[in-house]
Copies of this chain bind each other. A is one copy, B any other.
Amino acid sequence: MTKKGEISYLPNLAYDSVVFGFSGEKLKILIMEYHNTGLFALPGGFVKYDEDLNTAVKRGLKERTGIEDIYLEQFYCFGDSKRNATGEMKTIMEANNLPIEEENWMLERFVSVAYYALINYEMVVPTPDELSDSCEWYALDELPPLIQDHSIIVKKALETLRLNLERKLVGMNLLPEKFTMKELQKVYEAILGEELRRTTFQRKILSLGILKRHEKQYTGASNKAPYLYSFNV
């Protein structure tokens, strides 16, 4: 049992989260920047001794995003013995004037359980923690270099999201309640990283029978107005 401040956490165990949001054009994720270091990392945290792992992740994500009920998928546990022995954490502690004893718990080995989250981009208020001065959206193709094995974690998160795209209701969690067919298609294209054919996509999605059609959306553009849809679940 490891003491950190007043609370006891499970030792040597952490979680990291890849929080996906969709800006309307690009898929983005939340990245933290640590004070005075130029070091970037995924939002993560620790598990209290009497806390479920899933609960811990939800708790941490609520602090970073302000959202209570977040769609979460655990996708891998990273357990290489040297994965966080890369020196960056020492730099971060120095920059934050934290004491660096040889046995400081933050410098120990950590096994990390990785989750990805899907959230409605507009509903998020990115909030840094004590060690960081920012928590911001970055497009997947414009990520800064990340500490430790976090780039690998992001890569695996995206791979898993792609594999799950057909089996889970991904669009529902990245879009607002009502959306147009084009918006849904943009989400699929951003995740798959390839363009899709409009007619094929529309036919396929509609044939699933999971969409409910609503009123039209008049945007002021001089062309036919698209229908709005919502998920029927």
Contacts and interface: CB of A to CB of B under 8 A. Distances in A.
Contacts of A74: 76-77
A131 interface: no
Contact of A79 (B47, B80, B109, B163): B47
A86 interface: no
Interface in A63-79: 74, 76-79
A50 interface: yes
Contacts of A52: 79-81
A109 to B, nearest CB: 7
Interface residues of A, number: 23
Contacts of A49: 81, 109
A53 B13 CA distance: 12
Contacts of A111: 10, 13, 47, 53, 113
A24 to B, nearest CB: 31
A230 interface: no
A43 interface: no
A44 interface: no
Contact of A11 (B11, B76, B77): B11
A202 interface: no
A113 B77 contact: yes
A48 to B, nearest CB: 8
Nearest to A113: B77
A45 to B, nearest CB: 13
